[in-house]
């Protein structure tokens, strides 16, 4: 087992604690996100969508950015979470928070059961297995039209007011605030998990599975645990989508969803939790601008962007963010803070 923080030398514990403090850029981002609710009332629908994409990408970041599990099948968990929340709302209750929980549990269950398939084989096998698993769920949802509505989508999803007070309106006022709150909770939970010895063991596995197992980290259980957590996050993202749109269709399980998540995470960068937020923002802005210019063909430019990104190197945007946050930290808190940011990712 990895030694707990309490038994680590004081210097190490202190350095780790410093490395996990909230950064200036991070706090700024949240202030802007909350300010957007007050000052951009016309954009609430789009903002809610951005947050939804951000959570999907966050779920992928947990498994890819921190544990190094490549996946082309995050839509399996997203879609199952979406359908679970939709069915729960149509048949049990429209109360949103319990629906979110159901979606998260469904996503976690799918991830837990299919996670065992990922333990064998290298990246290539994992990519194909996750792709195949997502395709299986897609086909099941397509065939089981008595349950899911098949190609027509699930009808009768209604979301009750949040806390019994805030109605989900067509302008997305509640939807955005609700989604943002969920994202905040998820990020806080992810921060706690990743700052724990468990979180550090994941990074050890990502960087070198063989050495990680040599120092006594149980590699396979850890991978399944984080894959399950990622699945829960994806399921919550799907449930959130269902609740704010009050509709589920097969799109939630499509390859397109997995690809969207992966693209967004690539644009934003992996391994610092906010890649999804940054990526979703950029992705949605590009989509908005381009679909005004060329309504149906904006995907061409997204594709071009992705190709350019990979050719230039995916690490560049992340490096940019890191450089900016070091600058900012210096501005705000002098030398000690800048060392901390630099230590965050050597």
Partner 1 sequence: MLTLLFDGVAYGMLLFVLSCGLAVTLGLMNFINLAHGAFAMAGGYVTVILTNRFGVPFLATLPIAFIATALVGALLERLLYKPMYDRSPLDQVLFSIGLVFMAVAGVDYLMGSQQQILALPEFLKGRVEIAGVGIGIYRAFLIVVCGILAIVLQLINSRTRFGSQLRASVDNRRVARGVGIRVNTVFAVTFAVGSGLAGLGGALGAEILGLDPTFPLKFMVYFLIVVSVGGTASMYGALAASILLGLADVLGKYYVPSIGGFVIYIVLVAVLVLKPQGLFARAN
Binding site for partner 1 (CB under 8 A): 64, 70, 72, 117, 120-125, 127-129, 131-133, 135-136, 139-140, 142-143, 255-256, 259, 262-263, 266, 294, 296-300, 302-307, 309-311, 314
Nearer to partner 1, 24 or 64 (CB): 64
Please, which residue, 7 or 296, has the CB nearer to partner 1?
296
Phi, psi of 162 (to 5 degrees): -70, 130
- Output the CA–CA distances (angstroms, integers) from residue 287 to 36, 168, 171, 282, in the order listed: 19, 25, 20, 8
Residues in the chain: 346
**Shortest distance (Å) from residue 118 CB to partner 1:** 9
Pair of tokens at residue 292: 């005004």
Greatest CA separation for the chain: 63
Nearest to 134 by CA among 311, 252, 228: 252
Rounded to a whole number of angstroms, the minimum distance from the CB of residue 141 to partner 1 is: 10
Q: Which of 55, 233, 256, 84 is nearest to 154 (CA)?
A: 84
Closest CA to 37 of 199, 179, 216: 179
C-alpha of 270 from chain center = 11
Which CB atom, from 33 or from 129, has the smaller least distance to partner 1?
129
Q: Is 52 in contact with 244 (CB distance < 8 Å)?
A: yes
User: Among residues 35 and 128, whose Cβ is nearest to partner 1?
Assistant: 128
CA distances from 300 to 279, 287, 306 (A): 17, 10, 10
> Between 219-245 and 96-115, two packed helices, what is the crossing angle to 10 degrees?
150
Q: Residue 117 Cβ, how far from partner 1 at the closest point, in Å?
A: 5
Task: Provide the minimum distance between the beta carbon of 62 and partner 1 in the complex, in angstroms, as a whole number.
Answer: 15
Rounded to a whole number of angstroms, the minimum distance from the CB of residue 270 to partner 1 is 9
Q: Give the nearest distance from C-beta 267 to partner 1 in angstroms.
A: 10
CB of 142 to partner 1, least distance (A): 7
CB of 156 to partner 1, least distance (A): 24
DSSP letters spanning 151-193: GG-B-----PPBTTTB---TT-HHHHHHHHHHHHHHHHHHHHH
Using the structure block, give the residue that is written with the tokens 């939804």.
52
- What's the 3-state SS for 284-300? HHHHHHHHHHCCCCHHH
248: three-class secondary structure by DSSP = strand
Q: Which is nearer to partner 1, 26 or 251 (CB)?
A: 251
């Amino acid at each position: 087992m990895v030694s707990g923080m309490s038994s680590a030398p004081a210097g190490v514990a202190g350095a780790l604690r410093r490395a996990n403090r909230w950064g200036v850029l991070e706090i700024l981002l949240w202030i802007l996100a909350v300010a957007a609710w007050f000052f951009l009332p016309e954009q609430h629908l789009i903002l809610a969508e951005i947050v939804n994409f951000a959570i999907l990408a966050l779920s992928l970041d947990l498994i890819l950015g921190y544990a190094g599990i490549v996946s082309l099948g995050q839509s399996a968990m997203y879609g199952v979470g979406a359908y679970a929340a939709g069915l729960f709302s149509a048949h049990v209750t429209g109360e949103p928070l319990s629906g979110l929980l159901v979606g998260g549990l469904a996503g976690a269950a799918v991830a837990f059961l299919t996670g065992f398939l990922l333990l064998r084989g290298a990246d290539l096998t994992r990519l194909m297995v996750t792709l195949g698993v997502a395709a299986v769920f897609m086909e099941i949802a397509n065939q089981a039209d008595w349950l899911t509505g098949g190609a027509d989508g699930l009808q009768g999803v209604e979301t009750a007011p949040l806390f019994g007070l805030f109605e989900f309106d067509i302008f997305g006022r509640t939807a955005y605030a609700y989604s943002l709150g969920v994202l905040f909770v998820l990020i806080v939970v992810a921060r706690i998990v990743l700052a724990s010895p468990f979180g550090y063991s994941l990074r050890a596995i990502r960087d070198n599975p063989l050495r990680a197992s040599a120092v006594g980290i149980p590699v396979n259980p850890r991978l399944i645990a984080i894959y399950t957590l990622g699945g829960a996050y994806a399921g919550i993202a799907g449930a959130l989508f269902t609740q704010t749109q009050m509709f589920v269709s097969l799109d939630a399980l499509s390859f397109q969803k997995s690809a969207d998540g992966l693209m967004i995470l690539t644009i934003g960068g992996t391994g610092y939790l906010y890649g999804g937020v940054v990526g979703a923002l950029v992705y949605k802005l590009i989509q908005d601008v381009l679909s005004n210019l060329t309504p149906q063909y904006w995907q061409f430019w997204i594709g071009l962007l992705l190709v350019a990104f990979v050719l230039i190197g995916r690490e560049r945007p992340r490096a940019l963010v890191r450089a900016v946050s070091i600058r900012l930290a210096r501005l705000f808190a002098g030398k000690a803070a800048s060392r901390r940011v630099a230590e965050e990712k050597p």
